[in-house]
Amino acid sequence: MARSRGSRRWLDEHFSDPYVREAQRRGLRSRAVFKLEEIDGRDRLLAAGQCVVDLGAAPGGWSEYAASRVGERGRVIAIDLLEMTPPPGVIALQADFAADEGLARLDAALEGQAVDLVLSDMAPNLSGQKAIDQPRSMLLAELALDFCGDRLKPGGALLVKVFQGQGFDALLGEMRQRFDRVQSRKPRASRDRSREVYLLARGFRAV
């Protein structure tokens, strides 16, 4: 019964959420678009002609928004384990970017082009147990940071979702070693009870 009540409460909250309603009204793929839209509006993250990689992209809301901002001269490459109908102007790969095969497909799609911006709105499948979910979420963030390696151009940027908790300070320290500045962002579309924040790292220092 408790599980059923919890499910109903989540559904009631979801469908009364103004961001969900606005996403449906505008025909957007998810409410998460508003998070990227707010950060981009504040920090001028996306620009025409950029090459953008969207890690863990499904259902494609961030990719769709990025494609609208980089325009025809830009490129957006999205990758996710789940199948995704690519938005216009987006190359979508169904693969695990953390696996060698997925990375190889992503590198092939890049065709040697350096990346201006890496996006990651990834989150693990939550078990409800913080001791399990927190390490999983930090691992995804670390993988996104590792991906930048020799793919992100000098001066490039990374926007990655993280959850505050164990491992957060260590990740922040790693990012500060590899970028000129790292800032925390909590968009209005992030639910109040959520521990999620977005780390925006700019000025990549290629080693």
Known binding-site residues for S-adenosyl-L-methionine equal: 60, 62, 80, 96, 121
What's the rounded Cα separation, in Å, for the pair 49 and 76?
Answer: 10
The residue type of 3 is R
Q: Report pLDDT digits (tens) over 57-104.
A: 998 999 999 999 999 999 999 999 999 999 999 999 999 988 999 999
* Rg (alpha carbons) of the chain, rounded to whole number: 17
Residue predicted with more confidence, 192 or 111: 111
Q: Average pLDDT for residues 149-161, to the nearest whole number? A: 96
Cα separation, 162 vs 134, whole angstroms: 9
Q: Read off the pTM.
A: 0.85
CATH superfamily of 32-204: Vaccinia Virus protein VP39 (3.40.50.150)
What residues does each domain of the chain span? 1-31, 32-204
SS3 33: helix
Closest listed residue to residue 122, CA positions, set 159, 86, 73:
159
pLDDT score recorded for residue 67: 96
Give residue-wise pLDDT tens across range 157-205.
999 999 888 889 999 999 999 999 999 999 887 766 677 899 999 999 9
How far, in Å, are 50, 78, 92, 102 from residue 84 at the CA level? 22, 9, 7, 15
Total Cβ atoms within 10 A of residue 114: 13
Q: Which residues are annotated as a binding site?
A: 60, 62, 80, 96, 121
List the catalytic residues: 161
Burial environment of residue 207 by CB neighbours within 10 A (0 to 12, 13 to 18, 19 or more)? exposed
Residue given tokens 């060698």 in the structure block: 100
Cα separation, 53 vs 44, whole angstroms: 17
In this model, does residue 33 exceed pLDDT 60?
A: yes
Residues 6+ apart with CB under 8 A from 181: 201, 202, 203
Kindly report the number of other CB atoms within 10 A of residue 21's CB atom.
12
Separation between Cα atoms, residue 55 and residue 4, nearest integer Å: 33
